[in-house]
Amino acid sequence: MKVITTIKEMQEVISQFKSQEKSIGFVPTMGFLHEGHLTLVNRARQENDIVVLSIFVNPLQFGPKEDYADYPRDFERDRALAESEMVDFLFYPSVEEMYPNELSVKVTVQERTDVLCGSSRPGHFDGVATVITKFFNIIMPIRAYFGKKDAQQVAVIEGLISDFNIPVDLVAVDIIRETDGLAKSSRNVNLLPKERQEAPVLYQSLKAAEAAINEGERDPVKLITLIREKIRNDSTGVIDYVQIYSYPQLKPLEKLEGTIIIALAVKFSKVRLIDNFITNID
């Protein structure tokens, strides 16, 4: 595995493989790798000749009061994990390398951002779409791997790819969880011990909603109330949102039908956690 820190070198390597008609699979991450990330890498490894993993904590997608400074980082650990997963190139640019000047053009996401994390994190998805556009142009992957844990991100990137005719196949991978159900996240290390014990309530509340749907409940308001009560009763976390929409359009529903997402975000003292459940209702 080779670590590359400059855009110029990354582009030189890519053009060499493109001329040999090798397929390139790309996994964008912010590092502090865990099994969720490694599942994406694994999938990319199976489906492509060359695997590029990027590690970049993108300042553009963090709000002024968010956890950019506290976001966990451990490059040496990440490098060893990437190597053991047979990554070919670890792209690890600095902020100065990615954004040497104030951008004269930014990607602005118009749809699918007025709900869920888009409404609680203004500008977040513009930052995501901007950095992903840059990465797609630098790495020119044939396939890019994203986790359904960030289901709204998947919906936004699908829109980006389609609207800008980017020749990339988006591969969306299922959520990987701890044994107690908590969705794996780099941010989990910033939970206090008591909060870590409580955090599986996010998943448990989604499972309770799933059980209610299986018993015939189709009213989104009732499901949201059920989830909110469970989180309030079983944790000290503060609910940021619990919402139900069509997926991937993210439009409101009066009655559950078609493919839907139940998504939630809960704030603990230093971390805000998200989770979701996507299902098909006949």
Least distance (Å) from ligand AMP to the CB of residue 129? 14
Could you tell me the two tokens for 200?
Answer: 């599986």
Q: Does 184 bind ligand AMP (CB under 6 A)?
A: yes
User: Closest Cα to residue 218, out of 166, 253, 185, 168?
Assistant: 253
Tell me which residues in 36-65 interact with ligand AMP (CB under 6 A). Answer: 36-37, 39-40
**Cβ(281)–Cβ(218) under 8 Å?**
yes
> Is 121 a residue that touches ligand AMP (CB under 6 A)?
no
Q: Is 263 in the site for ligand AMP (CB under 6 A)?
A: no
Strands 272-281 and 50-55: unpaired
Nearer to ligand AMP among residue 107 and residue 220 (C-beta): 107
Does residue 222 contact residue 208 with C-beta atoms inside 8 Å? no
Instruction: Name the nearest CA neighbour of 117 among 150, 70, 89.
Output: 150
User: Cβ closer to ligand AMP: 55 or 140?
Assistant: 55
Measured between alpha carbons, how far is 252 from 221 in angstroms, rounded to an integer? Answer: 11
Residue selected from 149, 152, 199, 206 as contacting ligand AMP according to rule CB under 6 A = 149
**Cβ closer to ligand AMP: 14 or 44?**
44
How far is Cα 152 from Cα 255, in angstroms, rounded to an integer?
21
| Segment interacting with ligand AMP (CB under 6 A) among 89-97, 108-116, 176-184, 269-277 | 176-184
Which stretch, 12-20, 68-76, 107-115, 177-185, contacts ligand AMP (CB under 6 A)?
Answer: 177-185
- Strand ordering across the sheet containing 238-246: 238-246, 258-267, 272-281
Rounded to an integer, what distance in angstroms lies between the CA atom of residue 28 and that of residue 35? 14
Closest approach of ligand AMP to the CB of residue 184, in Å: 4
Size of the site for ligand AMP (CB under 6 A): 17
Q: Which of 139, 183, 242, 263 binds ligand AMP (CB under 6 A)?
A: 183
Q: How many CB atoms lie within 10 A of CB 214?
A: 9
Q: What's the sign of the alpha-carbon dihedral 147, 149, 153, 159?
A: positive
Among positions 130, 133, 186, 235, the unique one binding ligand AMP when judged by CB under 6 A: 186
- From 4, 30, 82, 263, residue interacting with ligand AMP (rule: CB under 6 A): 30
Work out how close the CB of 26 gets to ligand AMP at its nearest, in angstroms, rounded to a whole number: 11
Residue from 237, 234, 212 nearest 223 by CA: 212
φ, ψ for residue 244, nearest 5 deg: -130, 130
Structure tokens at 113: 């951002």
Which of these segments, 169-177, 206-214, 215-223, 243-251, binds ligand AMP (CB under 6 A)? Answer: 169-177
Catalytic residues: 37
Binding segment toward ligand AMP, per CB under 6 A, in 132-140, 159-167, 181-189, 233-241? 181-189
Is position 147 an interface residue for ligand AMP (rule: CB under 6 A)?
A: yes
- Residue 140 DSSP class: -
Return residues touching ligand AMP (CB under 6 A).
29-30, 36-37, 39-40, 146-147, 149-150, 173, 175-176, 183-186
